[in-house]
Amino acid sequence: MIKKCYIIPLLAVLFSFCSPKKAQFETNELIGVWSGILFQTESTYDSLILLPANAPIEARLYSKGKKTVHHINRKGTNLSFKGPSGLRFDALLSNDSKALHGVLTHDLWAQSLDFENTDDHWVAKIHKPEIIDTDYLVYLEFYKDSAGTVQANIQSNKENRKLHFAIDEVLIEGNHIDFKITNDRFGISVVYDTEKRNISLTYGNAGGQREIQLKKLNDDQLEGYLPRSPKEKYLYNIPEAPDSTMQTASLEEVGIDKSLLDFLGQANSKNLEHIHSILITKDGKLVFEEYFHGYDREYLHDVRSAFKSIASLAVGKAMMKNDGLHVENAILDYYPEYDIHDVRKKNITVHHSLTMSTGIQLEDEDKMQWEHEDWVGHKLDLPMAHEPGQVYEYSSGGSNLLTGVIQKSVGTYLPLFFYEELLLPMEIHDFQMLTSPHGRGYLAGSFYMRPIDFTKFGLLVLNKGTWNGEQLIGESWIEKSTTPHIKGSWPKNSDYGYLWRLLEREVGGKQMKTVEAWGNGGQFLIIIPEIEMTITMTGGNYNLFPDMEDRPFSILNEYILPAVQMK
């Protein structure tokens, strides 16, 4: 009997250690959305000062209060200096010395700078780069399913986290919370502090682990997590003109029915999940401009591969500056530094690069950028898979061969050429452009600009290359670049111009030809010449097929295009 008295309590103790611990708090305390900053990017530099103002010879570059001095090289009105690790500055001083615009390149990014003349010197603030890791918030939502079981969902403000993983199960033991997720390359766990009522999240991936604090959000703090705040009632307003070169109007004024707005009544449905902006112009006027998930007009968005279409326009601009540039010119004429003997590669022309038909074996873009400093050289080193011009094969490396073509033709650093010749005349002052470690601007994507400025390129095409009375791009080039040259592979057997997709869509019950720029994640610029209309969309559904196309196109085809009233 004595032994039994000791055995029973002992078994109870053993079971208490072996059996799972229940939550040490009411699980209802978890229910809701929690958020914190998972990644943050800071600027390497704070500001740049050039002096004296009328003829700058010295540049003072500041980083966290510390100054480095660089001698400015001047060639006509062009100013420049170079520093270590790919640092370089390039600018254009106006002939009357009253305006100065430039680009600062560091850490592979070229960033626009606008200077102010203050006390006989020029000064420009340098903002932190607006890349995906800047101000990257994570959202962790706990909720109960119909059976009363705690479930969870993880998201971010920058991209749809479903690309990485989803949460299958929530495991609560004490104040520790683990998760069964769909991708073992990642890991997340949580500790809930019952006194402070906050969450400590441990997040792990191939780059290591980091721990951040999450705070519970109120209902009026959910607009980054949800497309729109659930308390916000939508009211249509005519957009404000971004500058003097764009006009605005109401939907009714340009013949668009207000039924277009019906999709906003379901703003927090999955249809708008990680769609970041939708902008519409009609008859040359901005009539609709809405942002979601906390985005706004001033945010610089990566337009991804949609930038390829803008690169096509840049080729046309380069032709205006150098009449020796033709689509029949051989690509290798612009790269004499490479010793290439393959006759087929010598036959690759500018036309082939513009039509995704170089014939060079398809590159792995990520591998190219992570493992090679010379991205052009890497592409040219790959073997030939087809004769040039024979087969369409979508290739970022192939279109990026145009970087040297433009830069050699105009004799200007490519990011500065973009700023000086294309962007500034269109009142576009803020952009970021990826450059390779070899020092060349990247033309296949990773270009950040405001969606409203992305829209301007659609208007430029509709205006046949004219902007605010100035012929920025030759009218003949606009026509040539938006004319079918080859059959594309997506949509299958569709027409493809010079880095433009040439499709058809039903508008107001009628089939119409469209000119379109597409980018990964939901970046779209859709131009409908017949009715002088453009639709711009940006999003964060990166690499999520078919969601990144289906969601924006369902809004386009079910709400926007049917609302156009045909005359």
Q: Is residue 1 part of a domain?
A: no
Candidates 410, 309, 403; CA nearest to 350 is 403
Residue 309 sits in the same domain as residue 250: no
A 10 A CB-CB count for 112 gives: 25
Quick one: 391 and 426 in the same domain? Answer: yes
Average pLDDT, the chain: 93
| Lowest mean pLDDT segment, chosen from 12-21, 327-336, 439-448, 552-561 | 12-21
Neighbour tally for 115: CB within 10 Å: 21
Cα gap 49→69, rounded to integer Å:
10
39-59: average pLDDT: 94
* Structural domain range at position 273: 245-294+543-567
Query: Is there a single domain that holds both residue 330 and residue 449?
Result: yes
Judgement on whether residues 269 and 217 belong to the same structural domain of the protein: no
Domain count for the chain: 4
Which pLDDT score is estimated for 20?
47
Q: DSSP string of 466-517?
A: EETTEE-S-HHHHHHHTS--EE-TTTTT-EE-SS-EEEEEEETTEEEEEEEE
For the ranges 216-225, 306-315, 425-434, 494-503, which has the lowest average pLDDT? 216-225
307-321 and 402-410 are packed helices; what angle lies between their axes, rounded to 10 degrees? Answer: 30
Residues 185 and 108 both lie in one domain: no
Same domain, 475 and 343: yes
Instruction: Classify residue 233: in a domain, yes or no.
Output: no
Instruction: Give me the mean pLDDT over the 202-211 stretch.
Output: 91
Sequence letter at residue 15: F
* φ, ψ dihedrals at 369, nearest 5°: -80, -30
Share of residues in the chain with pLDDT > 70 (%) = 96
Q: Are 479 and 421 part of one and the same domain?
A: yes
* Per-residue pLDDT tens digits for 142-192: 999 999 999 999 999 999 998 889 999 999 999 999 999 999 999 999 999
**Any domain includes 516:** no
Statement to judge: residues 179 and 258 lie in one domain: no
Range of lowest pLDDT (261-265, 377-381, 437-441): 261-265
One-letter amino acid identity for 491?
Answer: P
Please indicate, yes or no, whether residues 333 and 478 belong to a single structural domain of this protein.
yes
Whether the per-residue pLDDT at 141 is higher than 70: the answer is yes
Whether 19 shows a pLDDT value over 50: the answer reads no
Higher pLDDT, 233 or 354: 354
CATH number of residue 359's parent domain: 3.40.710.10
Residue 196 has pLDDT above 60, yes or no: yes
Would you say residue 507 lies in a domain? no
What pLDDT, on the 0 to 100 scale, is given for residue 22?
57
Residue 6 has pLDDT above 80, yes or no: no
Q: Are residues 493 and 396 in the same domain?
A: yes
Residue 113 shares a structural domain with residue 200: no
- Per-residue pLDDT for 15 more than 90? no
Answer whether residue 3 is part of any domain.
no
Q: What is the mean pLDDT of residues 16-32?
A: 71
Q: Quote the pLDDT of residue 80.
A: 98
Q: Is the pLDDT of residue 18 over 70?
A: no
Condensed to tens digits (0 to 9), the pLDDT of residues 172-182 reads 999 999 999 99
Q: Could you tell me if 424 and 103 are in contact, meaning their C-beta atoms sit under 8 angstroms apart? A: no
Q: Which pLDDT score, from 0 to 100, does residue 8 have?
A: 39
pTM over 0.85: yes
Task: Give pLDDT tens digits for 355-373.
Answer: 999 999 999 999 999 999 9
**Which residues have C-beta within 8 Å of that of residue 476, sequence separation ≥ 6?**
none
- Out of 3-12, 227-236, 462-471, pick the least confident: 3-12
